[in-house]
Amino acid sequence: MLTASLILSSCYSYKTVVGNGAQNDVQITKWNHYVLAGLKPVDISDANQMANGAENYTVETKQTFINGLLSALSCGIYTPTTTTVTK
């Protein structure tokens, strides 16, 4: 079962460009917390707040290896993701 969950699992990532996108390499990262295989959000990040008023930035939300590992260990009960805002 462990092998199947590692082989059949997939990481996802999506990127959003606001304005002209990131102008520097300043990054702010925050975890998003979900339960029940991502169906119920518990604490999710706000990209606008993380950008702190910047007009040009890039937002990337993905499931990192650590996020996926925690999800697998909890059998999908806890499913975190990571949001990174680059200004």
pLDDT, one tens digit per residue, over 61-70 is 999 989 989 9
Q: Return the SS3 of 4.
A: helix
Name the band, by pLDDT with cuts 50, 70 and 90, for residue 12.
confident
For residues 58 and 18, the answer to whether their CB atoms sit within 8 Å is yes
* pLDDT of 8: 56
Task: Report the predicted TM-score, pTM, of the whole model to 2 decimal places.
Answer: 0.81
Alpha-carbon gap, residue 35 to 42, rounded angstroms: 7
Give tens-digit pLDDT for 17-48. Answer: 999 999 999 999 999 999 998 889 999 999 99
Residue 1, pLDDT score: 67
